[in-house]
Copies of this chain bind each other. A is one copy, B any other.
């Protein structure tokens, strides 16, 4: 008997009818001879509605109370799903994150899972029950307080439970029927992948593909959990994200798995920084202390009449939402940092090409840059990893860039893909 962990996102349990649909799907999985543990997000817009209430009563809700508030969302969806399953004649028990043994650190709103002790879940499964677990939430032992895992939290709960329960597979359900070679809203000829290696999935997630959250993929990679990305509303087998290197090696590997775009970034250029040791570090210390995560960094060659007054420019990208606070922090520290001026630009887009095949195939960057040049797209920044090349373009050119690059790497399918939306938390 196999053990299957399934995760259903908020759009999959958005109302009573959808909950009943999901309940039938879960029972079918059990009837096929599996033990089933289900992780569920809050219904539809519940989280946003609760956040809205929080903002109505407080200008700056503290994390502890916000976590207490938001975790009500999964409590509702998990209890309803459990009732619906019981009503259809199967046995089911629901568990909060705390009851399911999701132990985290103390960081409210963005807690990390420290340990998973799913004794009650395992006991419920052994008793023939379908176990329903609240996604997104955990418990800190020291403070005895409830925590939430932040964005992508329910995916991470599912993967962590799959690892702790030694599950055979972890299925991530949403309204998307798999991982595509590109966002079909941008590239209509994008194709669904049957299989992708976890490293490439990680790079795609990091590059802005919203199908799976990077933390969940990282957890799956580290704990060797195979994922299956599927739609709640179709029987398509979806996409397998393989964690096993042997499995990946057996794949008929394409050079490029997919193309991702990200329009959520802004860039800052710090102009005229003295080219002396420690100045660049001081810039990034300032940024880190402001609480922003930076993504790409480019430092140009020093310019200046002689070595002593050489100056350089540092450009980096960061989430648009962090732009103002980082600019403020840099301005406040101008005296120490000794730069000449600051520039920022929110009108940028990031295009990434990802594929495990890049490790062994040469010429990928040549194809990429030729395609961009032929499409008349100007590249402002470049960064690479072993299996990814990312470029920054202007915001209004990034979609054209994605279509050109998708075609250049022979990823175009014959049919238009179905359009997918985000996966919620």
Q: Across the interface, which residues of B come within 8 angstroms of A81, CB to CB?
A: 57
* A387 contacts the other chain (CB 8 A): no
A57 contacts which of B20, B56, B96, B144 (Cβ < 8 Å)? B20
Nearest Cβ in chain B — how far from A68, in angstroms?
A: 4
Residues of B within 8 A of A75 (CB): 68-69, 71-72, 75
Known: A120-B144, A144-B99, A144-B120. A54 touches B69 (CB 8 A): no
Task: Tell me whether A172 is interfacial, beta carbon within 8 Å.
Answer: no
Asked, given contacts A99-B144, A144-B120, whether A54 binds B83 with beta carbons under 8 Å apart, the answer is yes
A109: min CB distance to chain B, Å: 13
Report B-chain residues with C-beta under 8 Å of the C-beta of A169: none
Given the known interface contacts A76-B72, A120-B144, the answer about A66 and B54 at a Cβ–Cβ threshold of 8 Å is no
Name A75's closest neighbour in chain B (CB-CB).
B72
CB atoms of B76 and A61 under 8 A apart: no
Determine whether the beta carbon of A62 is less than 8 Å from that of B86: yes
The answer on a CB contact under 8 Å between B68 and A84 is no
What's the minimum C-beta distance from A134 to chain B, rounded to whole angstroms? 9
Which B residues are CB-close (under 8 A) to A20?
57
Q: How far is the CB of A148 from chain B (nearest CB, A)?
A: 12
Assess whether A58 is interfacial by the CB under 8 Å rule: yes
A87 pairs with B60, CB closer than 8 A? yes
B84 adjacent to A58 (CB under 8 Å): yes
Distance in Å from the Cβ of A86 to the closest Cβ of chain B? 6
Cβ-closest chain B residue relative to A59: B87
Q: How far is the CB of A136 from the nearest CB of chain B, in Å?
A: 14
A276 interface contact, C-beta 8 A: no
Kindly provide the distance from the CB of A91 to the nearest chain B CB, expressed in whole angstroms.
10
B50 touches A66 (CB 8 A): no
B99 adjacent to A83 (CB under 8 Å): no
* Most chain B CB neighbours (cut-off 10 Å) among A54, A68, A75: A68
B65:A69 contact, CB within 8 angstroms? no
What are the residues of chain B within 8 A of A377 when measuring CB–CB? none
How many copies of this chain? 2
User: Given A75-B75, A80-B53, A120-B144, A87–B58 Cβ distance below 8 Å?
Assistant: yes
Q: How far is the CA of A93 from the CA of B64 in the complex (A)?
A: 8
Does A56 contact B144, Cβ atoms closer than 8 Å? no
Interface of A is mostly: helix
Q: A58-B84, A68-B96, A99-B144 are in contact. List 14 more A-B contacts (CB 8 A).
A: A16-B56, A16-B57, A20-B57, A23-B57, A53-B80, A57-B87, A58-B86, A61-B87, A62-B83, A66-B79, A66-B83, A69-B76, A69-B79, A69-B80
The reply to whether the CB of A41 lies closer than 8 angstroms to some CB of chain B is: no
Q: How far is the CB of A85 from chain B (nearest CB, A)?
A: 9
Is A202 on the interface with B (CB-CB < 8 A)? no
A12 within 8 A of B: no
Pair A68/B58 contact, Cβ less than 8 Å: no
CB distance from A22 to the nearest CB of B (A): 10
Residue contact A53 to B76, C-beta cutoff 8 Å: yes
Pick 9 A–B contacts, CB within 8 A, sort by A: A16-B57, A57-B87, A62-B83, A62-B86, A65-B80, A68-B78, A69-B76, A72-B72, A72-B76
Complex Cα distance, B84 from A66, in Å, reads 11
Contacts of A120 in B (CB 8 A): 144
Q: Please give me the residue from chain B that is nearest to A70 by CB atom.
A: B79
Judged by a CB distance under 8 angstroms, whether A19 is at the interface is yes
A82 CB-CB contact with B under 8 Å: yes
Q: Given contacts A50-B76, A93-B64, are A83 and B58 in contact (CB under 8 A)?
A: yes
- Bound-complex Cα distance A337 to B346 (A): 84
Residue of B nearest to A80 (CB): B57
B68–A94 CB distance below 8 A: yes
Q: Compute how far the CA of A71 lies from the CA of B80 in the bound complex, rounded to whole angstroms.
A: 13
B-facing mask of A177-204, CB < 8 A → 1, else 0? 0000000000000000000000000000
